[in-house]
Structure 1
Amino acid sequence: MEEKQQPEVSIILTAYNQEKYIGEALESVRQQTYPAIQLIVIDNASTDRTLSIIEQYKETSPAFLLIKNANNKGLCKAFNQGLAAAYGKYAIDLSGDDVLMPERVAKQVKSFEALTDDYAVVFTNAVYIDTDGKEKKTHYPVDVNGKSLQKVPSGDVYKNVLEKYFICTPTMMMRTSVLHYLGGYDESLHFEDFDFWVRSSAQFHYFYLDEVLTKKRMVPGSLSARVYQKGSGILFSCYEVCNKAYDLNRDQEEFDLLAARIRTFIRKCLYAGEFELAEQFCKLLNYIENPGWQTELIMVLCRLRLPVNSLYRFYLKNLKKVG
């Protein structure tokens, strides 16, 4: 009897100025126990030694595609470049500072192959590491056997996606056909995960594999740290995704969850000084329900253009001096 061929997995690694970590990320791909891997590396016009390290690695491991961008195209466009060249049945979006554990690909493929075609994503737990590689905590708290102490959503997770952030992005393995069906990442946005979660989970299922299979690097200047930077574009991208969710929602509970999420973004707009954007969020909220007095109060503060962020930073600075 002929042995079933193992499905190919395309790992799309995007890198920008990650000279300190890129070697470890590449090595973690080479150390995978799963043999059928296509590696695509996109250097997004790094200005440090990242590209030279990638090229040195390619000399010893030539079996991967290297795309060198002359200018930084952003994460979403760079990933889509890799997706256009990907031939794997499944795909992984790997950052140049994260690390795959050796059996990650094998275990996720095994899970995927046991699922029906309406599953778009298999995601897992992760351990967060600092800039020196020291392990800090797991994404989901675990017991002594490494199993999650909390129930993690699985199956139809659209409502969960609307409610809050719960998936550790770099742990995802995605069905490549779904990525193509959705047109890849939305290149007009500053980040990919919230948008991908909304668009894919509205039509497809997710499966949670309860193992720690990725090391997620915590670095200064990450997207999450730039949410409150005025003009970063991150909150505007959130607004765009909320509009998409509004069109995709199927029942009143989903609109209620979206309304609650919009309120959190309005508060973030106040803190970031994105006052005009807060007005746009509030207009969208009005289509769903009455904002309520708490949100109206926040909107009054926005219209007064109070520099909450600056005042808070001033408070912290002087608190340290007193201490």
Structure 2
Amino acid sequence: MSEAPLVTIVALCHNHAPFLREALDSILAQTYPHLEVWLVDDASTDDSPAILREYAARHPSWHLHLLSENVGNCRAFNLAFRQSRGEFLIDFATDDVLLPERVGQQVAAFRQNDSTVGMVYSNAELIAEDGQLLGLHHRPDGHGGLLPSPTSGWVFAEVLRRYFISTPTMMMRRACLAQLGGYDETLAYEDFDFWVRASREWQFLYQDAVTTRKRKHPRSMSSKAYRRHDPYLASTIRVCAKALALARTPAEHAALATRLRWELRQAVRRHRHAEARELFGLLRQTTRPTLPDHALATWSRLFARNSK
């Protein structure tokens, strides 16, 4: 068998001081030895930089970037990705925790499968701010399956239709990420865009194992979505426009229509009327809107007019 591949872990930190030592210790606890570690701090204002300096001093092979201004997750990751060497990469938010077998399990999954697999993902434990176990991302449905149901193979249509991947569990093949040019730095978040663009040309593989602890807390990126002035919905609309350009079949257009209708409902419910109009415009390019679609768009337009 060929030499074990190098795996790059890009540890991204922004004000994660309460969780940072546990996250970095989980890198040190990995049973897989061939690791390249990049510590990137995105202009934290808490004690995170001091903790990162401490770990970098204790582990001289680790690379440390302390950014002087907040550039966002996508650009911060790309700065490390473009200098790294690993055949596989993990985008590791330092409020989460890697379980000890994580890297070894996922490298084995890549090596046992086709070279067209661009990303491996798995199950995750969900934990509270204090570390208390909340449950699983993919939880038993009582009938021998999991909710949300994981999918492997050519999953482009499923990625358009629904959320099912636990982002912190992903390991990406460098060739896949390089083909995409890294993350899109114009977006406020990375995962949906990566899923859409990567799954068009690469297979995804679900590994039935719990590899990661994902922390749920009020300051996490996922908790900010759909708030009144958050930038995430605008990024989602841009990714949906990319997906429309990539969709080739009636089934793929139908899957995107399902996503657009869901996003449209969220936008209307949270009074994001400008975004609702954009989503309805994309829906009209994807499929023939239904009466409920028109009703949502009309209600949003009237509400926006009356609230001026």
Q: Normalization by structure 1: what TM-score?
A: 0.90
Please tell me the residue identity of whatever aligns with 1:97.
Answer: D
The alignment status of 1:141 with 2:144, answered yes or no, reads no
Greater mean deviation of Cα atoms: 270-279 or 113-122: 270-279
CA contact (8 A) 1:125 1:212 kept: yes
Whole-Å Cα distance in 2 between the matches of residues 56 and 148 of structure 1?
44
For 1:51, the equivalent position in structure 2 comes to: 49
Q: Which amino acid aligns with 2:154?
A: D
Paired position in structure 2 for 1:206: 204
Structure 1 equivalent of residue 75 of structure 2: 77
Contact 2:150 2:165 in 1 (8 A): no
Hey, what does 2:15 align to over in structure 1?
Answer: 17
- Displacement, 1:115? 1.5
- Indicate which of 240, 246, 249 corresponds to 2:247: 249
Give the 3-state SS of the residue equivalent to 1:126 in structure 2. strand
Moved more, 170-179 or 150-159: 150-159
CA contact (8 A) 2:217 2:223 kept: no
Name 1:228's counterpart in structure 2.
226
Work out whether 1:192 is the aligned partner of 2:155: no
Task: Count residues in correspondence.
Answer: 304
TM-superposed CA distance for 1:9, in Å, is: 0.0
Query: Which residue number corresponds to residue 116 of structure 1?
Result: 114
Pair 1:154–1:5, CA change in 2 (3 A): same
Could you tell me the TM-score, scaled by structure 2's length? 0.94
Corresponding letter in the other structure for 1:87: R
- 1:46 CA displacement: 0.4
- Which one is further off, 132-141 or 165-174? 132-141
Aligned-partner Cα distance in 2 for 1:304–1:223:
32
- What percentage of residue pairs aligned between the two structures are identical? 37
Shift of 1:86: 1.2
Conservation of the 8 A alpha-carbon contact between 1:140 and 1:148: no
1:5 alignment counterpart: 3
Summarize the Cα distance change of 1:271–1:224 in structure 2 as closer, same or farther, 3 Å threshold. farther
CA 1:271–1:227 in 2, change beyond 3 Å: closer, same or farther? farther
User: CA shift at 1:224, angstroms?
Assistant: 3.0
RMSD: 1.9
| Residues 1:40 and 2:38 are matched in the alignment | yes
**1:272 match:** 270
> Residues of 1 paired with 2:28 and 2:131: CA distance?
18
Is the Cα contact below 8 Å between 1:148 and 1:210 reproduced in 2? no
The alpha carbon displacement at 1:148 in A equals: 6.1
Shift of 1:272: 2.6
Aligned equivalents of 2:95, 2:221: Cα separation in 1: 14
Q: What SS is found at the alignment partner of 1:267?
A: helix
State the distance in 1 between where 2:125 and 2:50 align: 28
8 Å Cα contact 1:128-1:216 kept in structure 2: yes
Unpaired runs of at least 5, structure 2: none
Cα–Cα, structure 1 residues 148 and 88, in superposed 2: closer, same or farther, change >3 Å? farther
Q: How much has 1:306 moved relative to structure 2?
A: 5.7
3-state SS, counterpart of residue 18 of structure 2: coil
> 2 CA distance for matches of 1:276 and 1:50?
37
| AA of the residue aligned to 1:19 | A
